[in-house]
Structure 1
Amino acid sequence: MKTISKQIAGTVMAIFLLVGSVGCAFSTNNSISFTGGNDAILMTTKEFSTSEIKALVVNTSGGSIQVDGSAGSKTTVEMHVRPNNNRNLSKSEIQEILDRDYEISIVQNGGTIEAYAKRKNKTNWRNGISISFRVLTGTNVTTDLNTSGGSIRIANLNGRQNFKTSGGSLTVSNVDGQINGKTSGGSIKAKNLDGDIQLSTSGGSIRLENLSGDIEAQTSGGSIKGDHISGNLYAKTSGGSINFDNLSCILDAGTSGGSATASFNELLGAVNLTTSAGSVNLTIPRNSAADLNLKGMRVSTDNLNNFNGTNSKGKLTGTINGGGHQISASTSAGSVNLRFN
């Protein structure tokens, strides 16, 4: 499995996602400037020795989580708080709410940093606050991140990364290792990943760029789009189109509610591309040796070189260039189009 090079610029990325509309500006000294009367307020900052930190556990019920593995000798954990319902509260007023209604902890336990924000009692959301964590740590750190009310962003890490949200998007970039991300209410963006990758959402689109390894991407409510993917790719959606470009991978992809398109730079194994309610568009290298099994209301192809088989009544079966990798494409309500590059 190839290793994707880290694309870290000379400035350290400092991106922080919060529930609601949070305006922010980014500078080259890792600082974040929040603008607007009701934006998040930095309430707590704690520092740890990066060389001691091997794992990170973060839990919050009302805000976002960001982890960046570009730290130097000091690992920092920041807790930012934003009043819900556009209320304008002072820092002291927010601290009163934290002391009264929440249990907050940011501690080091062995080689693990544990940070969490838990409600002590039930409070009306409109009168509550959103508590978000931003962590700048070392590269070789595993994570276990969970929030029920915000987005998660991780970047520049090696190792096992496990992250889940019930109410926000996922953004993951420049990560190598075992990656497992889930959201029930947002989109997923993944870029420059290498490893065992599992990404799923019940309510948004998925965008994949420059991925390598064993990859699984699933959504029940959006499209899936990918570019420059190698290894093994499994992709399924129940409510959108599939569009892949610059593939060098084994592919098993399907949708129940849109078109399915895949373009290959190189055939490395079996290809299965299906839809129930749209067309299938498949592009493979001209010199490919393959076994073809194409089914649709109509099957259209470029001129087939060294083809041995049949093509009639919406079904094409046979071999090209003597046969090789299995290529299957099917649709119940559209055409199948095979092209060569």
Structure 2
Amino acid sequence: MIYLDYQASTPLAPEARTAMLPWLAGPDAPGFANPHSPHRWGRAAAAAVEVARAQVAGLFPAGGRVIFTSGATEALNLAIIGSGRKRLAVSAIEHAAVLDTARFVDPDVALLPVDGEGLVDPAVAVPQGTGLVAVMQVNNEIGTVQPVDALAARAQAAGALFLCDAVQGAGKIAVPQGADMIAVSAHKLYGPKGIGALWVRDGIDLQPLIHGGGQEGGLRSGTLSPALCAGFGAAAALCTSLGASDAQHVEKLWNLARGLFEGWMLNGSAEARWRGNLNVRLAGLDVSRVLSECRSVAFSAGSACASGSGRPSHVLRALGLSDRDSKTAIRLGFGRYTGEQELEQAAAAILAAARSQGVW
């Protein structure tokens, strides 16, 4: 299997797995201990959690705190609901974790439009009375990189908090500096599933969603997993040390992929984009048939969270595409562990499937 679905999940880094193993130990080693227990083994587990917290904090600006969560969805819920703000504005191409939560809080949530390249205008009007604005850093379907720092400044000038879903950008591109809250997920940056984090700028008060034991500074009750924390921390530290080489590798893969799919229409900006995402469409393409015929290639027709729904992508529709055109798009995601030969083989299989339909 050739894996080209990095937006859905990245492979677990071997270094992250190694960091996790001591905390998955059996009864004769301290790894299984509860990090909230006061005895020696519990304190050792707690120390591992704090080391990981410091490593994850390296992804964010100074002047804030890291709250561990079960993933980005919980982190975004904590930010949106926990902020107590009732009037919200979010970009039209946000992930469902933001859109659905925002609609839960504010059924009349304002949707900030994007242009045909999938970008929010940095001078977009923030509706009067808005308490929180949420715009993602990198879109999970089309890879466009938003001007989040300019948008954060605009939101704050209007008296609103600014929340950034940085799930697809964290560990890959420069962290937003102006946001009040930033959500990330470990398994999108070569860490384990089941853990994420919300970074909260100093001075921002939140109310907890989960009550019980008062862990995570009273904002997220529940026993933390030292293993997941350690894996997350190791993956974050690795992104920091390998950032330049990862970016160079992805740039090379991007140029290769663009050549392999020459003649296909690119969805979203070619410039303001994370280059590990190639979202392209071909008129008349039956994507379901392509997916069925390319069983040796793992790729998608859009967000993994909405796969199988049959609905046209709300992201592509926001760019101005028709429902018909939206259903002719595929998404290829690649990164640190993708080889050039793998990409070439995958493209050959996809292009052959397209040719068999007479559309290429």
Query: Would the TM-score normalized by the shorter structure come out above 0.5?
Result: no
Larger Rg: 1
- Structure holding more strand per residue: 1
TM-score (norm 1): 0.24
Select the structure with the greater relative contact order (CA < 8 A; seq sep ≥ 6). 2
TM-score (norm 2): 0.23
